[in-house]
Structure 1
């Protein structure tokens, strides 16, 4: 196991950094610094730039258009993207749906959908959660009834991340009601322009639009859009969620947030001195930095290990990573003092959502901090609630 970067890794980091410095548009980086919810046009624009270089899908196999990088190289690439404030890429299609398609999908499905995902032209949503079926995903009730060469889909999905941007949805449906719950689930690819689909935004506490709900009223889906085998959707869902939970560690993003927090603490004052000189604050910051370094080591260990315990590792790093994202966001909000109580939202760098006379004015380094802290309450819920992950760890690692 390698826990340090090799000369080749350091050379690769320098190559990535030079490329980003030369090719990242200034307006995209400026909006990235505010950490607002990403715009589809920004994501698509940056994906096209990376695709021309061959870097838009860093974890894909070479056979499907990926660069063939090692796990450590993928980590370095993500680290440099976050440090440069490049747009956060669409994760649903490239990181979650595509691996399912090139692992379990038909050749026709690969040829139809992978190119658009790779170039950022087609955006996807993930249709898993339903009202009453979140962590207990096997209880989902959306049905797909076979009618000739089509399925007829009826039901509802909710908390659908970035669904307002999506062209397609990778969706779990129930195709068999007469077997145990997990065995009756299948996976369908559904065009979101199909008749019978209604999508509605869910505005979250930070007044940002990230999640949505979808209603399906007798939506007809070609049988060719079934992924793999009917009734095997639970297997594909576990595969997808393993990828999502590993990605949820988000060490590069947390490291960038720590750097931003340090900048805030250099500017903000306490007792006439920079907050960064305050012993209590420094202790809190040091604890977060140490825990992030430990998580980075765990992630690198997983990326360089030959052990086949990906499910347990995914749950472990998801729990620690999601909690760290909350802690650093909360400390940044605390660093702003009273101004951290203001609802300081910024959908992008040009449109600041201040209510004149009602909301205290906040300096540039404070824009979006409160919104981020509020939004991060979801990190320990999405991708499988941390309480569920701890149960999985107890069973698979501790054998309880």
Structure 2
């Protein structure tokens, strides 16, 4: 099969590259950058619906834009959760009023979002959420805790999966609520310090936080169906852009292996070739499955592929460095904090790749039950 791009796509690639070259710059305020993207119509290109201040592009051009963005010096996106998760969900399940209220603000880069799904006792087992929301006139009062919440410290809004039916269990009685984050005393965000020394994730505590009744997406009690629909948007075009970053990391590891002489080791050389070959397979698989609606196993297969691949790359980066890989650049300077180099950061951060976003075990269960039709896994068995 031909997974290439048309001549028109390549013309568009030049236009996208030129715009990014003229506007993208390191060190720019990320919220200001979201607004700059929005003013040029680059937010919401994959929504399939125009009229919210966004342009709409076909699938191949969405891929081209994502790839060129990954190659540019543009800062990491702060608005991708609203653009790529919530917005398609609102288009599929939201009311006309919800679309009119939230989509233009997302497309303009004016409002940033975070995702309130995982809880300390309900990570991969999303149906076990205990955060509750009680109807109080025209409002809901939300109480509970969410964890591993990316960008919560910067977000204006959070879409929260909560239990709106007292005494309900598992998939029943859940609703997806849109909750404003600016509620001092009712919402507290606590950063989680990781092995890398950074805080990419947060704990979020809700203590009677208010959400408007008209901001329940898909209707009360339909949260599980809406939440599963939202997760279906989580992986797609972005997977191909992610692979651009992976290719750059692999290139740095290869150069380090050549510079250090580690490439002369046949085992290391074989591992480098295997990483390159597996990355090509991931790209072809992503292109092959892109746009195939209803393919329940495609997101899980993609997550299994890239999670393990990236983790192995981190291990290979340390192997190429040798014994020096465990020593920081300021290890013996007590006056300065310990700092990780790029390979050390890659190794430590990638340890979580097979856990966050749905653990490997969960992905294999989804493939087994929903794709292969194997018997469902017994619940409550240790």
Is 1:337 aligned to residue 332 of structure 2?
no
**Alpha-carbon distance in structure 1 between the residues aligned to 2:148 and 2:104:** 27
Q: Which moved more, 1:15-24 or 1:210-219?
A: 15-24
TM-score relative to the length of structure 1:
0.84
* 1:207 to 1:247, Cα distance in 2 relative to 1, 3 A: farther
* 1:59 to 1:343, Cα distance in 2 relative to 1, 3 A: farther
**Alpha-carbon distance in structure 2 between the residues aligned to 1:360 and 1:149:** 54
Q: How does 1:343-362 map to 2 (within 5 A)?
A: 354=330, 357=333
Q: How does 1:1-400 map to 2 (within 5 A)?
A: 2-25=2-25, 27-28=26-27, 42-63=29-50, 64-90=52-78, 91-194=80-183, 195-246=185-236, 250-267=239-256, 274-276=261-263, 278-305=265-292, 308-342=293-327, 354=330, 357=333, 367-400=341-374
- 1:37 aligned residue: none
Q: Is the 8 A contact 1:251 1:292 kept in 2?
A: no
Q: Which moved more, 1:52-61 or 1:222-231?
A: 52-61
Shift of residue 162 of structure 1? 1.6
- 2:380 aligned residue: none
2:204 is paired with a residue whose SS is strand
Cα deviation 1:122-173 (Å, max 9, x = unaligned): 1111001111111111111111111211111111111111211111110011
Q: Is the 8 A contact 1:265 1:274 kept in 2?
A: no
Unpaired runs of at least 5, structure 2: 375-382
Q: Is the 8 A contact 1:245 1:315 kept in 2?
A: no
More RCO (CA 8 Å, sep 6+): 1
How many pairs were matched up? Answer: 371
1:181 is paired with a residue whose SS is coil
**Alpha-carbon distance in structure 2 between the residues aligned to 1:276 and 1:16:** 37
**Alpha-carbon distance in structure 2 between the residues aligned to 1:106 and 1:374:** 43
Q: RMSD across aligned C-alpha pairs, in angstroms?
A: 2.7
Q: Is the 8 A contact 2:328 2:341 kept in 1?
A: no
Cα deviation 1:28-70 (Å, max 9, x = unaligned): 4xxxxxxxxxxxx643233233223221233222424443222
Hey, which bits of structure 1, 4+ residues long, moved more than 6 A?
Answer: 359-363
**Alpha-carbon distance in structure 1 between the residues aligned to 2:95 and 2:332:** 56
**Alpha-carbon distance in structure 1 between the residues aligned to 2:108 and 2:331:** 39
Cα deviation 1:294-349 (Å, max 9, x = unaligned): 111111112254xx3332111111211222222223323333333322357xxxxx
**Alpha-carbon distance in structure 1 between the residues aligned to 2:160 and 2:349:** 25
Shift of residue 375 of structure 1? 1.4
TM-score relative to the length of structure 2:
0.88
Unpaired runs of at least 5, structure 1: 29-40, 345-353
* 1:179 to 1:218, Cα distance in 2 relative to 1, 3 A: closer
Shift of residue 277 of structure 1? 5.4
